[in-house]
Amino acid sequence: MDPLGSFEFSPGLAELADLAALTDRETTDATVSHEQIAKELWTALRRLGVRGQMLVLGEDAEVYAGLPQTERRISPGATAELVGQVPGASWPHTGLQLHQHPGTQPDPFDLVINNIPANDLVAHSTVGSARQWQQHAINTLGSIGLTGPGGLTILLASSRLLDDTESYVRREMSRAVELLGALRLPAGALRRAPGNDGTVDLILLHHRGSPGTTPFTESIPVTLDGRDVHVNEYYDTRPDHVLGTLASRDNPWGPADTTVVPGGVGLATELRAGLNAIARSARARGLPLPADAADLDVSIDSTTGESGDRASRRPSAIRAQDLGEARAVVARLRAQRRDAFPTTPDRPAPPRSPGPEPEPPGL
């Protein structure tokens, strides 16, 4: 007998569920998981020969820049916008100099990493879901717009970005970048609290300057565990890039959602294998790399040698035409965020207080 069989899940309860999840989120950071992801990500980035200037955005930006814990000045879970030089081969990046993004339109960056805030939030209400989708759209298109030709954009985003039946954002992405690869993390990989255990994608995008060869704009209907859901075409053809077992789960206030049941291997091991496969594929597809780029089998602690010069660039033959509006929105959000959230490496974030509003977008 279903104890909830006669229980009415009203829209008002959906908003309360979102509020409870957001309140729990204020007291539960994902910094330990972010450290794990960042280390494996930087292994892959060195193997791809990334150099030049970087911009790191969103939650735990210092962690994704590779700063050791003893050198971090920003509270765990807080958001920031940090600029610096792509570091050398050692891990962690001890002594890395970072400064706050100036907020003006700079030269394009060679590397942009955006850990989009609230990417593991499971929003149930109509308002909460729309707000999360808007945050992801602005952060995604804004990050792409800040990355120069030949550069890389790295996103940690809700699985909704790739799976949602609305494909406008993905179509805009495909006009400017090629999908090098994506990995879908297990549910609860960042946080395990109910409402904060959504599936997150680690997405690697390359500004190649020519049409991409990896389809990712369409979300196709599939049946999982007897429920009808949508899954991005990329994962439908590459199930090994799902770090666990793709499944579905009920949503009391709407259609069933996809989820990922963790396997027994461990997140770090699966990330390492998946990112290594993406790096190999990128090289096989002719991604332009510096001559001294790290060999795919070299440990992250090995020396690869790095110059301050930027990697060679191909002229961009394809540009996203509709990013002007996104950039304008991003500029307004930056100005609002600097006034309300003056967080910098040399100015620690104020204590976080519970509240119904999610943290502002990383951009």
Where along the chain do its domains lie? Answer: 32-211+237-244+265-340
pLDDT value of position 103: 76
Please give the backbone phi and psi of residue 223, each rounded to the nearest 5 degrees, phi first.
-115, 120
Helix (H) or strand (E) holding 173: helix 168-176
pLDDT value of position 288: 56
pLDDT at position 115 over 60: yes
Are the beta carbons of 218 and 233 closer than 8 angstroms?
yes
Q: Is the pTM of this model over 0.75?
A: yes
Separation CA 273–CA 240 (nearest Å): 10
pLDDT value of position 330: 46
pLDDT at position 334 over 50: no
Residue 278, SS3 per DSSP: helix
Average per-residue pLDDT for the chain: 80
Q: What is the pLDDT of residues 4-20, one digit of tens each?
A: 443 445 667 888 888 88
Q: Which of 5-14, 192-201, 326-335, 341-350 has the highest mean pLDDT?
A: 192-201
Separation CA 140–CA 363 (nearest Å): 9
| % of residues, the chain, pLDDT over 70 | 74
Residue range 346-359: mean pLDDT, rounded: 38
β strands within the chain, DSSP E: 53-59, 79-85, 99-100, 109-115, 147-158, 178-184, 200-206, 219-224, 227-232, 245-249, 257-261
Among the listed residues 138, 139, 133, the one whose alpha carbon sits nearest the alpha carbon of residue 121: 133
Q: What is the pLDDT of residues 292-330, one digit of tens each?
A: 444 433 333 322 223 333 333 322 332 344 345 444 544
Higher pLDDT, residue 202 or 305:
202
Higher pLDDT, residue 261 or 253:
261
Residue 3 Cα distances to 6, 7, 8, 253, 254, angstroms: 8, 8, 12, 17, 19
